[in-house]
A = this chain, B = another copy of it.
Amino acid sequence: MKEHVYAGIDVGGTFVKIGLVTKDGEVLSKTQIPSQIDQPAKNMLKRAAQTIHDLLKAQKNCKLKGVGIGTAGAVNVDEGILYEAPNMPDWKNEPFGEILSDLLGVPVVLDNDANVAAWGEYAYGAGRGSKYMLMVTLGTGVGGGLVLDGKPFRGAIDAGGEFGHVKLDFNGWVCACGCKGCVEAYVGTRGILRQVREGLKKYPDSLLSKVNPENIMPVDVSMAANEGDALAIEVLRQTGEYLGYSLANVVNLLNIQRVVVGGGVAKAGDWILKPAFDAMKADSMRVPGEIVDLLPAELGNSAGLVGAAWLSAFRSGDL
A interface vs B, CB < 8 Å? 74, 131-132, 144, 146, 148, 153-163, 165-172, 177, 179-181, 242, 245-246, 248-250, 252-257, 282-285, 287-288, 291
- A171 cross-chain contacts in B, Cβ below 8 A: 169
Task: Select one of B146, B157, B242, B250 contacting A287, CB under 8 A.
Answer: B157
**CA gap between A79 and B162 in the complex, in Å:** 33
Of all A-B residue pairs in the complex, the 4 with the closest CB atoms, nearest first, are: A155-B255, A160-B255, A159-B288, A165-B252
The oligomer's copy count stands at 2
Task: Select one of B242, B252, B288 contacting A166, CB under 8 A.
Answer: B252
Asked if B255 and A167 sit within 8 Å, CB to CB, the answer is: no
Given that A146-B253, A167-B168, A179-B248 are contacting pairs, would A159 and B283 also be in contact in the complex, using a CB cutoff of 8 Å?
A: no
Given that A159-B285, A159-B288, A160-B288 are contacting pairs, would A255 and B154 also be in contact in the complex, using a CB cutoff of 8 Å?
A: yes
- A179 cross-chain contacts in B, Cβ below 8 A: 248, 282-285
Asked if B250 and A253 sit within 8 Å, CB to CB, the answer is: yes
- The listed residue with most B CB atoms (<10 A of its CB), out of A132, A179, A252, is A252
Q: How far is the CB of A264 from chain B (nearest CB, A)?
A: 22
- The listed residue with most B CB atoms (<10 A of its CB), out of A131, A161, A253, is A253
Asked if A165 and B287 sit within 8 Å, CB to CB, the answer is: no
- A288 cross-chain contacts in B, Cβ below 8 A: 155-157, 159-160, 162
